[in-house]
């Protein structure tokens, strides 16, 4: 590729270029053994990763008779959107037959406030830890980070009791609080590290000009750290939307988030299994995080890397 960039003297063909001695990197053969092995492996692995998504889509577009006869990998002979309609509006969980739409809207009503609340709390926490250290602040921060490793199962029941005491057990608000609590370690770490990396002079100048805690946060820190807010939003939207454990513990059947309802629809023992409806429901549930993933691209990677790499 690179030798194309070498300006050719007028009248010299490719042979002339070779004769003038090697310049630039050695040209690679497109079909070298190395390339066949490299791309071959990558393509096979990519197919393996794509296969489940393909099967999901294909199955959801078939009718039940075709599924019983055919093979899960074959494309649908007759495309039907009926399974999608049914999954959305009339699939049954127990006695309720209003489809996944209820779970979808519950999930929206859980995710939006949880994302806003958890990020609001964590960003202010991170800001206080980075710029307004007080005695003992780091101790709490260490407890918070260590706490992120405690299995949720250990803390589930005490939270049930607390929520019951304040009358929020089983409600969407209760679940929002739970998500804000468990999102706190990772988000606080994210914001603390980001604010710490900002130039100290900025903060000092603002203080000299008489700005206080909230003034600096809202006028300087917030506008300057929009990228990290986007990363946090991506992290939280996918994390909260995909949550199952907290949903199943802290909500009731009529407030179940989408993942819990999906599991109940697909794994219900009553009735005939409708695989096409199940797969349509599965795609519908996976759609929100998938869209977030494909739209956000590199930011998603940055988010999970930030979420994953401690320190």
Partner 1 sequence: MSKSERPNQLFRNLNAKVASIPMVLTALVIFVGGSAWTVLYSFTNSKLLPRLNFVGLDQYYRLWSTPRWLVSIENLLVYGVLSLVFSLVIGFILAALLDQKIRFEDTFRTIFLYPFALSFIVTGLVWQWLLNPEFGIQGVVRGLGWESFSFDPLYNSDIVIYGILIAALWQGTGLIMCLMLAGLRGIDEDIWKAARVDGIPTLKTYLFIIIPMMRPVFITALVIIAAGIVKVYDLVVAQTSGGPGIASEVPAKYVYDYMFFAQNLGQGFAASTMMLLSVVVVIVPWAYLEFGGKKRG
Q: Which helix or strand (DSSP H or E) is residue 117 part of? A: helix 101-131
Shortest separation between residue 229's beta carbon and partner 1, angstroms = 17
> HSE on the CB side for 268, CA within 13 Å?
21
Give the C-alpha separation, 92 to 265, whole Å. 6
Which residue, 279, 230, 306, 300, is CA-closest to 80?
279
Q: Where are the alpha helices (DSSP H) in the chain?
A: 14-19, 33-60, 64-69, 82-89, 101-131, 137-147, 152-165, 172-196, 200-208, 213-216, 222-224, 226-241, 245-250, 258-266, 275-296, 298-308
All residues at 6 or more sequence positions from 18 whose CB lies less than 8 Å from its CB, including other chains:
none
User: DSSP class of residue 149?
Assistant: T
User: Which one, 84 or 241, has the nearer CB to partner 1?
Assistant: 241
Collapsing DSSP to helix, strand or coil, 251 comes out as: strand
Q: Are 188 and 125 contacting, i.e. CB atoms less than 8 angstroms apart?
A: yes
Shortest separation between residue 90's beta carbon and partner 1, angstroms = 19
User: Which one, 19 or 154, has the nearer CB to partner 1?
Assistant: 154
User: Which one, 172 or 178, has the nearer CB to partner 1?
Assistant: 178
Shortest separation between residue 184's beta carbon and partner 1, angstroms = 5
User: Which one, 19 or 270, has the nearer CB to partner 1?
Assistant: 270
User: Which one, 67 or 228, has the nearer CB to partner 1?
Assistant: 67
Shortest separation between residue 96's beta carbon and partner 1, angstroms = 18
Shortest separation between residue 20's beta carbon and partner 1, angstroms = 26
Q: What is the tally of helices (H) and strands (E) in the chain?
A: 16, 0
User: Which one, 53 or 79, has the nearer CB to partner 1?
Assistant: 53
Shortest separation between residue 220's beta carbon and partner 1, angstroms = 15
Give the C-alpha separation, 127 to 141, whole Å. 12
User: Which one, 16 or 218, has the nearer CB to partner 1?
Assistant: 218
Shortest separation between residue 252's beta carbon and partner 1, angstroms = 13
């Amino acid at each position: 590729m690179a030798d194309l960039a070498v300006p050719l003297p007028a009248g010299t063909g490719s042979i002339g270029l070779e004769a003038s001695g090697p310049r630039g990197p050695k040209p690679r053969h497109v079909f070298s053994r190395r390339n066949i092995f490299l791309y071959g492996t990558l393509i096979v692995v990519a197919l393996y990763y794509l296969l489940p998504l393909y099967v999901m889509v294909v199955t959801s577009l078939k009718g039940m008779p075709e599924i019983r006869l055919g093979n899960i990998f074959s494309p649908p002979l007759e495309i039907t959107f009926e399974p999608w309609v049914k999954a959305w509006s009339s699939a049954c969980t127990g006695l309720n037959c209003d489809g996944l739409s209820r779970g979808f809207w519950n999930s929206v009503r859980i995710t939006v406030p949880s994302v806003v609340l958890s990020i609001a709390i964590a960003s202010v926490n991170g800001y206080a830890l980075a710029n307004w250290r007080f005695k003992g602040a780091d101790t709490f921060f260490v407890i918070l980070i260590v706490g992120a490793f405690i299995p949720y199962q250990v803390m589930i029941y005490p939270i049930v009791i607390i929520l019951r005491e304040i009358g929020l057990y089983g409600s969407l608000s209760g679940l929002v609080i739970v998500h804000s609590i468990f999102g706190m370690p990772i988000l606080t770490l994210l914001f603390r590290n980001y604010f710490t990396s900002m130039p100290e002079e900025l903060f000092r100048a603002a203080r000299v000009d008489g700005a206080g805690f909230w003034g600096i946060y809202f006028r300087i820190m917030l506008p300057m750290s929009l990228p990290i807010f986007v990363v946090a939003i991506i992290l939280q939207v996918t994390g909260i939307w995909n949550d199952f454990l907290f949903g199943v513990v802290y909500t009731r059947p009529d407030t179940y988030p989408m993942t819990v309802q999906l599991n109940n629809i697909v794994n219900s023992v009553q009735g005939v299994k409708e695989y096409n409806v199940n797969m349509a429901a599965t795609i519908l549930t996976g759609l929100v995080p998938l869209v977030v993933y494909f739209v956000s691209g590199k930011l998603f990677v940055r988010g999970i890397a930030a979420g994953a790499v401690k320190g």
